[in-house]
Structure 1
Amino acid sequence: MQTLQKPTFKIESTSMRGCFKLSVNGRKIVDLKYKNWYSGVAETYLDREKIQLKPKNWWSGKIEILKNHRKVGEISHNSKLHLKISRENEDGIEETYILKNSGKWKLKFDLALEAGESVMTLSPTNSFNKLNFDVFVHDENIPMEELAIYSAYACKLYYAYISAV
């Protein structure tokens, strides 16, 4: 009898610019590429939809999430460096997730619904300067690939924020 295996998500850095790929069970799903070194604009394709992440402006600290050139959400942060990912689902209802560092001595990120229910954990696998994560999914009723893309981008922002301090 064959048992069903839980999918294994992995986020791996592919360039010094911050580009990364998302793979499931060793099979590449998407490549997120940054337009250039300093812009913060990144894009990829998921299920034939163009996903673009781009800073709203230099001072606001908000990142717009665009799908096929239509704004569907944003990433922002608070004073505790908890990153808030708001996105519109297929029914037009806004869903809000909070990504925060839950590690004491080593960075580890938990993505939870605003109500507090954990949906995903991102654990760094290598060093501070490379964006490599093992992703553990706690709730399979979520758009895992899409949230993993937004979460990895937000983790890169977190690294940038703490590096600047």
Structure 2
Amino acid sequence: MQTLEKTDFKIENTSLKGDFKLTEKGRKILELKYKNWYSGVAETYLDREKIQLKPKNWWSGKIDIFKNSKRIGEISHNSKLHLNISLENEDRIEKIYILKNTGNWKIKFELSSESGEKLMILTPTNTWKKLNFDVQVLDKNLHAEELMIYSAYACKLYYAYVSAG
């Protein structure tokens, strides 16, 4: 069984349209910015690489993930409202991560590998204006910052799906 380690990662909203920044020990690592209120298109830079998230179309519920203008994966959901994050590495090997709400009374998100190994926990720290997250990383070998971008974006999708009914 994995032991939970406290980390100093936080995801904090920076605007009402959904922009957020990722910080560690109060130091800003990156900021993801949405193009506008309704498009769902967002972008950021991580290690000098441009990361973009773009909805495929209005009805599909799938989000394409681009790194330096090359499509590397997508975010999609299933009927249980679990969000799948599928990513392809340079060798065209696909990894699938599953983000799901594991809280009963209070929403809490867990990111797991396809085999079910827990990798990350995102705990919302809601205020009436902003949706922020404390992040705990369970796998020290994980390229966590990049997965935090996709996970935070997916968490916001989850809230949109749930609030839409």
Contact between 1:12 and 1:22, CA under 8 Å: does it hold in 2? yes
| TM-score normalised over the length of structure 1 | 0.94
Higher relative contact order (CA 8 A, sep 6+): 2
Q: Secondary structure at the match of 1:132?
A: strand
Aligned partner of 1:141 in structure 2 is: 141
Percent identity over the alignment is: 71
Deviates more, 1:79-88 or 1:6-15: 6-15
Aligned partner of 2:10 in structure 1 is: 10
Distance in 1, Cα, partners of 2:81 & 2:6: 31
Q: Give the superposition deviation at 1:129.
A: 5.2
1:1-150 → structure 2 map (5 Å cutoff): 7-127=7-127, 130-150=130-150
Aligned-CA RMSD value: 1.4
Q: 1:114 to 1:35 in 2, by over 3 A?
A: same
Q: Give the superposition deviation at 1:127.
A: 3.1
Q: Give the superposition deviation at 1:6.
A: 6.5
**Long gaps (5+) in structure 1:** none
Distance in 1, Cα, partners of 2:86 & 2:48: 21
| TM-score normalised over the length of structure 2 | 0.94
Q: Give the superposition deviation at 1:130.
A: 2.0
Aligned partner of 2:152 in structure 1 is: 152
Distance in 2, Cα, partners of 1:135 & 1:6: 8
